[in-house]
Structure 1
Amino acid sequence: MYANGKENASGKKPALRRRFQEGSWRCRNGVWSCKYREYVDRADGTQKTFDRGKSFPGLSERAAKAAMQPILNTVNAANKAEAQLVVSPASRTLNDIVGDYRKLVVPHRKPRGVETTESHLRAHIIPELGQVSLTQLDVRRVQEFVNKISPGRSGKMVENIVLTLTGIIRHASKWDKEVQPINVSDLTMPPKEKAKPQFLSGQEIKTLIKASRGVLRTILIVLALTGMRINEVLGLRVEDVDFENKVIHVTKSAYNGKLGTPKSVASAADIPLSAVLAKELRKHLKSKHFRENPLGVLFANRRLRPYSDNKLREKHLRPLLKSLDMKAVGFHAIRHGVASELINSGTPITAVRDQMRHSDVRVTLGIYGHVIGNTQRKAVEGLSRFIGA
């Protein structure tokens, strides 16, 4: 067996594995301690491993690590071959940590976030910084990157690109001590202009539904009567619609034909099922547009997978909008329109928050603060009467 140094089939003794020791640190009751391994050679050519530990009462983390370093140096002195495998940070580049990020972090991210990250990497980050060594990847270098990509782009877009970069660096700093995290707050960013969300009015949504046909019509009705996100609608399963209790359980989100979790924790919630929507969904389940499928989703394409929101938008929604001489918007404009109509009708902002499933009412106000509801208009009219104008 290789672990104990015995000969293999070729008659040669393989090299003994000795991990380069950096120490495993922990702090308990204010005392820092370090665990490490020591390898001792035996006369028969095998090795014995000892688990060691040392505590540093009264020392700060920095002081404890400084005191521990000579011990680790001594342990690693007998492990020169393994230590030589440590790559100098000067020879590692951003491309290296991007590769680590793709292997260690990307599998746990949502598909849409991964798509955005890859777009930023491909178009901006890799071409400009991919070959930059880790020793040169500091605040100054990233600031130069910000300055280069800013012309011709909105402040929000630049911020999103930089957040992708700093997020990758932050993740890498957790497993590579040579990588220093960089915060956006350390950078001078271009100003951001808060753009008003695109939305369709209640009348425009009504016109759009009236002109639509088939499965698109049912999807538009669900969007209009719930304010759900398009990916949540496409991820709805038959079991998520509780006709008896008049509730829709928002638990899934569809993207690229696969089911995942909704946008946030707050997004996974129950919302009311109106009588009108219940009637439309029952009709859909009995129609030729409903296809039985392995995932049990309400809206399945010919491949029995959830519809792609991008394809629905480009192949069905946009052509329909164009035929009606309406502005070219996405499905999210309906969600914004629903929220605006609720606010205009005097619905309490907390109820709008619950229907939109925002994590905090401040999110709702931040998005729809430009909408002046009827309650506020009536209040202003009351002020006019108050002064006798």
Structure 2
Amino acid sequence: MKRPRYQFGSLYMESRRNGPDVWVYRWRETNQQGSRQLRKQILGTVKELRNQADAFRAAETFRLSINRQAVEHAGPPPTLRKLIEHYRLKELPMDHHEGKRRSTKMGYISNLDNHIVPRWGDYLPSRVTTIEVEEWLKSLVLAPASRAKVRNVLSMIFRHGMRWGWLDKNPVTMVRVSSKRLRRPDVLTAEEFRSLLEALPQRERLLGTICATTGLRIGEVLGLKWEDINFTTHMADVLRSYSDGAVGPCKTEISEQPVPLDEIVLEGLQGWRQVSGYPEASDWVFASDHHFGKTPLWPDSPRTKILQPIARRVGITKRIGWHTFRRTYSSLLASTGNDVKVVQELMRHSKISTTMEVYAQAGMEQKRVAQRRAVDVLLGRKPRIATIEGAEL
């Protein structure tokens, strides 16, 4: 019996007489008579899939589906490229919601397509060595944390081959790569935050306020619906996250915990609901006008076109993004004398070690106050009243 042939298919844009252009994926399929015939599938409009990269990601499910038989009958993969194809088929199908989050899968696919396959795709798995991988990772023009992620994905490919009984070792296990940050992430001072907030439009001001007063990630804020907001108990249920154009679960199980809402946030939400255009209980709090409210707002556009330019205009030279507000919140929680367990609960960190990293980045003035208290006790010195940003301690 002839072994099925692997095919990548083709992607192109097709014009429509009535309506926007569409992205089309095309491949060949063997019919019952044994002859090959051309098949095609519309992936979405150019409004839904804004560029070729979006269209390629949408086509991934179809490509894996039409090649399922070819991959299943291929036997032990002769090259790393074939092993990766099998891994993607088994571990990364976009039409399965269990297992890894969609954003995680997209990150794996990006590392595979942009780094691993171009360098190692034609290698025999048995020819890949620890030292060669280590030297290659050092040559990548990436941040240390990004290199570590590439290393981890490559290691998963080899572990996948071992689980299927095709490989007997993983050369990436012994690869050394540092994930230490090159620079500390920026946080805003209270003065910088207030000056930025005053200059932002209503929608972006509310987005920033929610992130900076609840610690929610931007995807979790965009995943909120009006029915998740309880204006009586001053709480918000965090049930989902919006990332990479898809709604899915939150980052961790502990992330799906209710968060308290300050009065200023509730006032902002009530004002926004009156003008947002999508005030129904089942509507997204931050709905996308481009998709007529059917999807949440895409976060990149307001970040690059509104948030960052306005930050520069008010004199903030730090690197600003939506996550800056979450970091600012965690920094303030750590620097205002809160119990570490309380901070962990408010930040919804799954590990206490993550919270402790926040405390390790305490401000210099906080360090001086702590040092002074210890020295006062050590030397029997009368304690002095110290302040952090004007607050007596």
* TM more than 0.5: yes
The secondary structure found in structure 2 opposite 1:338 is helix
CA gap 1:194/1:182 in 2 versus in 1, 3 angstroms: farther
Match of 2:30 in 1: none
**1:128 aligns to 2:115 (yes or no):** no
Match of 2:148 among 143, 159, 165: 159
**1:337 aligns to 2:328 (yes or no):** yes
Taking the TM superposition and a 5 Å limit, the aligned residue runs for 1:216-295 are 216-286=204-274, 288-292=275-279
Match of 1:383 among 374, 382, 387: 374
Match of 2:17 in 1: none
| TM-score, length of structure 2 as denominator length | 0.69
Match of 2:138 in 1: 150
CA gap 1:191/1:225 in 2 versus in 1, 3 angstroms: closer
Task: Work out the CA distance in 2 between the residues paired with 1:293 and 1:168.
Answer: 46
Code of the residue aligned with 2:320 in structure 1: it is V
Conserved? CA contact 2:334–2:340, under 8 Å = yes
How far did 1:379 drift? 3.8
Task: Work out the CA distance in 2 between the residues paired with 1:264 and 1:373.
Answer: 32
Match of 1:319 in 2: 309
Instruction: Describe the superposition over 1:20-46 as per-residue Cα deviations: whole angstroms up to 9, x where unpaired.
Output: xxxxxxxxxxxxxxxxxxxxxxxxxxx
Match of 1:99 in 2: 85
How far did 1:118 drift? 2.4
Match of 1:301 in 2: 288
Conserved? CA contact 1:344–1:371, under 8 Å = yes
How far did 1:359 drift? 1.0
Instruction: Describe the superposition over 1:314-335 as per-residue Cα deviations: whole angstroms up to 9, x where unpaired.
Output: 2221122222231232111111
Which structure is larger by alpha-carbon Rg, 1 or 2?
1
**1:114 aligns to 2:98 (yes or no):** no
Task: Work out the CA distance in 1 between the residues paired with 2:201 and 2:235.
Answer: 25
Conserved? CA contact 2:155–2:173, under 8 Å = no
Q: Which moved more, 1:106-115 or 1:303-312?
A: 106-115
CA gap 1:226/1:294 in 2 versus in 1, 3 angstroms: closer
Match of 1:352 in 2: 343
Taking the TM superposition and a 5 Å limit, the aligned residue runs for 1:14-29 are none
How far did 1:240 drift? 1.2
| TM-score, length of structure 1 as denominator length | 0.70
**1:214 aligns to 2:202 (yes or no):** yes
The secondary structure found in structure 1 opposite 2:104 is helix
Code of the residue aligned with 2:276 in structure 1: it is H
CA gap 1:178/1:320 in 2 versus in 1, 3 angstroms: same
How far did 1:154 drift? 4.0
CA gap 1:86/1:239 in 2 versus in 1, 3 angstroms: closer
Code of the residue aligned with 2:144 in structure 1: it is G
Code of the residue aligned with 1:338 in structure 2: it is Y
How far did 1:162 drift? 0.6
Instruction: Describe the superposition over 1:90-121 as per-residue Cα deviations: whole angstroms up to 9, x where unpaired.
Output: x6211112112222211243232223222212
Task: Work out the CA distance in 2 between the residues paired with 1:256 and 1:273.
Answer: 26
Count of aligned pairs between the two proteins: 300
Conserved? CA contact 1:166–1:181, under 8 Å = no
Match of 1:59 in 2: none
Code of the residue aligned with 1:371 in structure 2: it is A
Instruction: Describe the superposition over 1:254-283 as per-residue Cα deviations: whole angstroms up to 9, x where unpaired.
Output: 113321111111111111122221121111
Conserved? CA contact 1:290–1:298, under 8 Å = no
How far did 1:198 drift? 2.0
Conserved? CA contact 2:343–2:355, under 8 Å = yes
Q: Which moved more, 1:181-190 or 1:326-335?
A: 181-190
Instruction: Describe the superposition over 1:140-190 as per-residue Cα deviations: whole angstroms up to 9, x where unpaired.
Output: 2x430220231354433221111011123223433x211345275422335
Match of 2:160 in 1: 171
- Between the aligned residues of both structures, percent identity stands at 24
Instruction: Describe the superposition over 1:219-276 as per-residue Cα deviations: whole angstroms up to 9, x where unpaired.
Output: 1111122111111101111111112222111111011332111111111111112222
CA gap 1:340/1:373 in 2 versus in 1, 3 angstroms: farther
Code of the residue aligned with 1:297 in structure 2: it is W
How far did 1:134 drift? 3.0
**1:189 aligns to 2:177 (yes or no):** yes
How far did 1:339 drift? 0.9
Aligned-pair Cα RMSD in Å: 2.7
Structure 1 unaligned residues grouped into runs of 5+: 1-14, 16-84
Conserved? CA contact 2:227–2:281, under 8 Å = no
How far did 1:206 drift? 1.5
CA gap 1:126/1:318 in 2 versus in 1, 3 angstroms: same
How far did 1:370 drift? 1.6
Task: Work out the CA distance in 1 between the residues paired with 2:282 and 2:262.
Answer: 25
Structure 2 unaligned residues grouped into runs of 5+: 2-71, 383-393
